[in-house]
Every structure is written in C-alpha cells, then in structure tokens.
Amino acid sequence: MRMTAVQRFDLWLRHATPVGLAVLLAILSVVPVGIPGYAVVVPAYTTMGAFYWAVFRPDLQPPIALFLVGVLQDVLAATPLGTTALCLMVVHGLAVSQRRAFLGKPFVLTWFGFVLIYALAATLIWCLVSVLSLQPIGPGPAVFQYLVTVTLFPVVAWVFVRVHRHVVR
Amino acid sequence: MARRPGSFTRVAQPVRSFWSRFAFALLLAGAFALMLLGKADILLVDRFRAGVADLLAPVLEVLSEPAASVADAAAAIRRLRDLRAENERLRIDNERLDRWQHVARRLEAENKALRALTNFVPEPNTAFITARVIADAGGAFVRSAMINAGQDQGVRRGLAAVTGDGLVGSIVEVGLRHARILLITDLNSQIPVVVERTRDPAVLAGDNTRLPRLVYLPQNAQLQVGDRVVTSGHGGVFPPGLPIGMVTSVEEGAVKVTPYVDWNRLEYVRILDYGLDGVVKPSGGVPPYTVMTPDQSSGGRLLGLGSK
C-alpha cells in the first residue's frame, strides 16, 4: 500500500520524535531554572532518554544521532568534547544488548536495569574525565548527579511512556 | 520520486551494510577521538564549540527567559511575605551605609590628594558590558555559564565577570553572540588572590564544589575565618581588589573560601574591561588551560556599552 506524502511526513515526524526529544532535553539541561543547587546535580535527562528508547524502540534511535546529541550537549555544557557522547553510546549499547530482559516485565525491573547500566557508564565517564584532567575529580558531585538521575528516572520515564504511546506509537 | 534499482544502490549497498555493522564501534572510537582532540586544545575544536554554541545561543536566550520569570515570581512571593522585616533591616542598613558613604567620600578625597602628591600611576578606565546568563552548565565535571554577549559586543577572552556581590569567573570562550564564563568554582579555575587583612598572596583554586580552596599560601600565613579574599591583580588577568569571598574554614592543608556570589540567582553579570592586556603570554608552548592561550584576534579593541 502506498502512502500519501502527508502520511509519510506524519510517520517521519513520529519516528523522529525520540531523537528530537533528545535534542530538546540536551538543551533543557543547561537552561538556568533558579532552583538552589540545581545546576550542580542537573539530572542526565538525555541518558534517561537513551536508555528508554534503546529498550523500547532501538530502531528509532540510531547511534549516529545519539552521538551527535551527545556532542551537542558537550558543547552546551562545556564538558570535555565526547564525554556525554560516549556516555550515551555506552548506555545505548548496553541497554540494546540487554533489552530482552526488560521487555514485557514490570517497570521496576527496567528501573533496576537503568540503575545498573547508568552506574557503569557514569563510572567509566568519571574515570575518563579524571584521566583527561590529569587529576582525580572529587566524586561528590558525580555521585549526587547519579543519585538524582536514578531517582528521577521513573518520572521522566512516565513522560517517555506517554510520548511513546500517543506520539510515536 | 521513484528510485531506480541502478548503479547507486549497487555502490551504496556494501557501504550501508558495513556502516550498519560497525557504526556503533566507529562512533565509540569517534567519541574517544573527540576527547583526545579536545584535550589537545586545537583551534579548530575551539572554533567548532564556539560556532555550535553561537547557533544555539538564540534558542537558549528564549528558553532561559520563562525559566527566569518563574523563578522571579517565586522569589517575589517570598519577598512579599518578608516585606516588613526586610523594610526594617533596610532602614538600619541604610543608616549604617550612610555613615560608610561619609567615610568613603572622605577617603576618596584623601586618596586623590595623596595620589596627586606621589605621582601614582592611575588604574586605566573601566568599560563594562552587562549580559544575561542564558545557560548554566553544571553536572559533575564543569562549572560554567553562558551569556548572551560575545565578540559583537566587545567581549574578549580573559575578561572578568562580576555581579554586585563579587567575582563570578573569567571569559574562556567567545563566539559572535555568546561567551562562556568559567566560574571560579570550576576545577580549571585558578585565580591569583590576596587575603585583604594580612596581604597574604595565594591562588584560589576551584574544585567543582561550592567552596574553592586557597593554595600556595605563604608558610607563615595567619588566616582567620571571616577574612575577605580579593583578586591580587598578579598576572595581569584581573584588576586588583575585586571581591571574591570570605574564608570560612581554616584547617590543616585546606583553607576554604565561600564566594560572595549567589550562584542560585546568577541572572545578569557584568563583564569588566579594564583595558588590561590581560592574559599571560606563555613563554614556551601553550599550557593546557584555555584562558592562557594567547588571543587569536588581535584586531582593534572594542569597548562595550560601558561607562567611560
């Protein structure tokens, strides 16, 4: 069955949503909101997105797009170029390889998966940035950011579920 | 437009299958390569960063507006509640400041007279540019902020950014319409300072926490909690005497300073242009710290909207 141009465009838009959302989240994560201490522990929204879509719709999240989103966030947040990109790629890779374990299971299991996989990725990134800056970086902020991200994951995932159901389908 | 099964597909097919197989590994390698490239401090990478950030600056400018207004509204409500107490405090403050003003006037006159006597070389005139903070980058590894003024407004690398409270940081990246401030709490920020009471020189080194440390203090420094820390002007990057913060803990091997700046309400900053040549020129090679890189644009110096 052939689709009309409008249908095709509609489908394209729907399929571009995960990547578009990632770009939006990358930008939103550097917008100043005026909450005390927020900038220090700003949750890694893009990482949550990378994990969610890697588990539920990996076909809509091509690694190259994820890579570019990571570089964009690095530029915006002035982190060493490539660190966020690497973090997203690692999370994506691990999540895709383990996705069968999460599909059709209760959400708590997915959450647990995110806790583990993001811990691995965050540790790796922390080590790399420490090596790059030639000194161990105080782990405090990194640990806080990890905890905040992990705690907020269900909330953000809820939004992703809505988007997934109503927009992406 | 229908695609004919022709030569293009035949050529593209192996490329595509190769890509789909190795994309992930290639991109991982790419991320590593980028990290090394960024570490090498190549001009191209700086240009790329500035270019992308410039493109997104308008978006950030628009987005940061509502976020700021929500925060403003919340603060306004809180202020309304404390209005009476605030008023009382301000009245007392005002009286105290009036007295201070009187003292300052007298000192200024005295200072002027003494300078005239001693042929003192005056500090150059200051110009300043006021800009809004449009992005507040945090996370685990960096402390920086982006502002909506750049080369077009006369911002240059190495200039000091201040609020009414004190020093915020220095400009490390300049695009056409945006610039990035490295906050004094960042791991890479090292500022020559002096303790106001004792005149002990030191370096204020950030470590990504809210409390930067004083390092390279003289052996016999006698610091107390509550001592004011100001820029020393050594190195010619910052003018001397900009307030930075207050010593809040003195322990063996670690003197912590609480900056005066209220990081939660970092909305507008002033970029000070003292006409200092600024930036220390490295003698051999380029040090890794980006502020130290000699400014590439050696064109005429622009002055912003400031006072003259």
**How high is the ipTM of this complex?**
0.80
- Give yes or no for a contact between A82 and B39, defined as CB atoms under 8 angstroms apart: no
**Cβ contact, residue pair B60, A44, below 8 Å:** no
- Give yes or no for a contact between A163 and A17, defined as CB atoms under 8 angstroms apart: yes
**Unique residue bearing structure tokens 């907020």:** A152
| Residue A23: other Cβ atoms inside 10 A | 17
Checking if the pLDDT of B122 tops 70, the result is: no
On chain A, the residues whose CB falls within 8 A of the CB of B269 are none
Checking if the pLDDT of B99 tops 80, the result is: yes
Tokens of B62: 């628009």
- Give yes or no for a contact between A45 and A25, defined as CB atoms under 8 angstroms apart: yes
- Give yes or no for a contact between B275 and B301, defined as CB atoms under 8 angstroms apart: yes
Closest CA to B139 of A28, A77, A116: A77
Closest CA to B143 of B177, B168, B178: B168
Model pTM score: 0.74
CA atoms in the 13 A half-sphere facing the CB of B259: 31
φ, ψ (nearest 5 deg) of residue A138: -50, 125
The DSSP code for B292 is G
Q: What is the pLDDT of residue B9?
A: 65
pLDDT per residue as tens digits for the range A43-72: 889 999 999 999 988 888 888 899 999 999
Q: What is the pLDDT of residue B123?
A: 65
Mean pLDDT, rounded, for A19-25 = 90
* Confidence band for B92, pLDDT divided at 50, 70 and 90: very high
Q: Report the distance separating Cα B21 and Cα A76, nearest Å.
A: 30
pLDDT per residue as tens digits for the range A117-160: 999 999 998 898 888 878 777 787 888 888 989 999 999 999 98
SS3 B60: helix
Residues 103-142 (B) with a CB less than 8 A from some CB of A: 133-142
Assign residue B158 a region: left if phi > 0, alpha if psi is -120 to 50, beta otherwise? Answer: left
Give percent above pLDDT 90 in chain B. Answer: 17
Q: What is the pLDDT of residue B94?
A: 93
Residue type (1 letter), B8: F
On chain A, the residues whose CB falls within 8 A of the CB of B23 are 62-64
Q: What is the pLDDT of residue B277?
A: 58
- Put simply, whether B34 touches A (Cβ < 8 Å) is yes
- Give yes or no for a contact between B57 and B175, defined as CB atoms under 8 angstroms apart: yes
**Unique residue bearing structure tokens 């947040």:** A77
SS3 B62: helix
The distance of B26 to chain A (nearest Cα, Å) reads: 10
- Put simply, whether A36 touches B (Cβ < 8 Å) is yes
Give percent above pLDDT 70 in chain A. Answer: 95
Q: How many A-B residue pairs are in contact by the CB < 8 A criterion?
A: 159
φ, ψ (nearest 5 deg) of residue B253: 80, -5
- Put simply, whether B42 touches A (Cβ < 8 Å) is no
Checking if the pLDDT of B220 tops 70, the result is: yes
Q: Report the distance separating Cα B269 and Cα B170, nearest Å.
A: 11
